[in-house]
A and B are shown apart, each in its own frame.
Chain A
């Protein structure tokens, strides 16, 4: 079992309110990812779950027991640190065995568990080495091994892949996912990388300034972001935003600003009836923009001038000037476009996001 519940968690560092009223239920066997920019409180929240940081107010419970006052060692958790935190004076074997030795496991059992973990992680040949003799990826595995051998109820990961090079990071990401499927232990994973969050998480918690912005499955966050922050944070390249004013003309709603004027599709218009005359934030993802063709008849369209063409092979990113603002479109690699071209761009009507200009909440 490994169910973690956070109830009204707050954290103050002197006068700084670092974590604000966080309520979460992390299910048994779930892979939960905390994601957000630096200083959003995700690591602090993780450290409070670990017991490394005191809680200012609220309750943290693991499998129904409140653990607020329990020392880290009594919470039955294992943590993988950003810098691995391997004991430099111990061999790989001793690093992995340390937690078991401290818990007074029998020697044969320690041996069995360490060898088993080493086998899973493919570090069997490294057991007699010291951390300084290992590469970054190998250290990462040892740090994972140290967590695995304990058979804890919950794994806590604090940006474990951020010190690896890009290629290794992708590889370890896949291995982490496999490892989780194999062990089935609840995992809480902190990262600032939204791709990691999307690919690893069963569910993702997006945080900003100590406040939980949205909790949901990766595609839910992607398709139905709760506010402008989540919409802009999840997805790469980021969502395009345009401040528009909504007016009514001939029974349909028009969103316009200095550079674009589009008729809103009916289903969006339904939601915006109460916002006529007000300023709103329109959001559309780069992949939901296309060079307008005959198939896009009736779709909202606008004019744009291409400023930069980024060839990625599998797609082309177009940085376009639309009125005063810049929008990015991701188009087919076969598209024939050049810098300076004037284009008619169509947006997929069902993928239009609208946010309140003041509260930034999705409408």
Chain B
């Protein structure tokens, strides 16, 4: 009992000041150490969140505090056709991009996990889409999808695949596909690098043992690599789904929600209503509408991760 021995001697020499005794108590110390975090989270997350909830049940607009209206704003948006499109778009956008980001990211991670010349360089290079500010890279994509100056159209035309221009961002379906492509492009590096880190924690001996045990390459992937990578995969998916679900920048820059409100997501539509038209309370209601969905996704995935990690 070295610790008690030390405090015994200090006691005998001189009783420590009260403040110091308080810090010796781990419950107090824990609280003191947590205070900065609590303050930060409270100020920048909890408070705005509560304000958002309060805002959503009023009729406030820019310059008008408004009155309490109960769930009227929610009632209104659920009967709003554009809101429904935005909900559908958000799910489609999140679902499709996540599947592609996972598949491409995993494929890339497996390639990068091999030994080849310039490995370190390639690994850094692959991160570029992730590092470049999204707005900047999205502007570049906007040019590539521009009806007149589109380099994609130019390529397709010169390969003889099309005869006329494709109006990428002018057609509702093509516009949706376009923003999905950009999101995948931007999100793959995060998946690739995270999964690569996960792959590197798997001992190569396991794959060798499986090879000797008679497992063919795809069996080794399915029975060894995939299950061992699953916890990392779920964490990466969790982050990605949350980010994609609440995505704003790509749509805002590429289409602004158009054409004819066909590509709105939760975030862009909330912005348009709340800030663009000044209906603050309605915008808040739209933002809050995605909360239950995100909450459910997070809870499910965290439960799953815990289950996987226990085994």
Contacts and interface: CB of A to CB of B under 8 A. Distances in A.
Interface residues of B, number: 18
The 4 A-B residue pairs with the shortest CB-CB distance, nearest first, are A99-B213, A102-B214, A85-B205, A85-B209
A103 interface: yes
Interface stretch (A74-82, A228-236, A244-252): A74-82
B54 to A, nearest CB: 47
A88 to B, nearest CB: 7
A228 to B, nearest CB: 35
Given A87-B224, A102-B219, A73 B211 contact: yes
A50 interface: yes
Contacts of A71: 211
Nearest to B308: A89
A130 B203 CA distance: 17
A98 interface: yes
B311 interface: yes
B214 A99 contact: yes
A146 interface: yes
B80 interface: no
A69 to B, nearest CB: 15
Given A98-B223, A102-B215, A130-B311, A83 B203 contact: yes
Contacts of B214: 73, 99, 102-103
16 contacts: A73-B212, A77-B212, A79-B209, A81-B205, A85-B203, A85-B205, A85-B208, A85-B209, A87-B206, A89-B311, A99-B214, A102-B213, A102-B219, A130-B311, A146-B213, A150-B213
Interface string A52-68: 10000000000000000
A18 B227 CA distance: 35
B211 A81 contact: no
Given A83-B203, A83-B205, A89 B228 contact: yes
Contacts of A130: 311
Contacts of B203: 83, 85
A83 B206 CA distance: 10
A72 B223 contact: no
Given A73-B215, A150-B213, 6 more contacts: A51-B211, A72-B212, A81-B208, A88-B228, A89-B228, A103-B214
Contacts of A150: 213
Contacts of B216: 73
Contacts of A103: 214
Contacts of B212: 50-52, 72-73, 77-79, 99
Interface string B193-214: 0000000000101101111111
Interface residues of A, number: 22
B217 to A, nearest CB: 10
B199 to A, nearest CB: 15
Contacts of B213: 73, 98-99, 102, 146, 150
B220 to A, nearest CB: 9
A202 B205 CA distance: 28
Given A88-B228, A89-B227, A52 B211 contact: yes
Nearest to B208: A52
A294 to B, nearest CB: 60
B115 to A, nearest CB: 12
Nearest to B219: A102
Contacts of B208: 50, 52, 72, 79, 81, 85
Contacts of B215: 73, 98, 102
B224 A72 contact: no
B102 to A, nearest CB: 19
A85 B228 CA distance: 13
Contacts of A77: 212
Nearest to B215: A102
Nearest to B202: A88
Nearest to A156: B212
Interface string A123-144: 0000000100000000000000
A66 B146 CA distance: 62
Interface string B268-311: 00000000000000000000000000000000000000000001
Interface string A146-163: 100010000000000000
Most interface-central of B203, B212, B223 (chain A CB within 10 A): B212
B211 A85 contact: no
A131 to B, nearest CB: 11
Nearest to B227: A89
A81 B209 contact: yes
Interface in A210-250: none
B219 A85 contact: no
A78 B203 CA distance: 18
Most buried by B among A51, A71, A89, A150: A89
Interface in A79-118: 79, 81, 83, 85, 87-89, 98-99, 102-103
Interface in B224-253: 224, 227-228
Contacts of A52: 208, 211-212
Given A81-B205, A85-B203, A98 B228 contact: no
A24 B212 CA distance: 23
Contacts of B209: 79, 81, 85, 87, 146
A78 B215 CA distance: 13
A35 B205 CA distance: 21
A188 B206 CA distance: 20
Contacts of A98: 210, 213, 215, 223
Contacts of B228: 88-89
Interface in B97-135: none
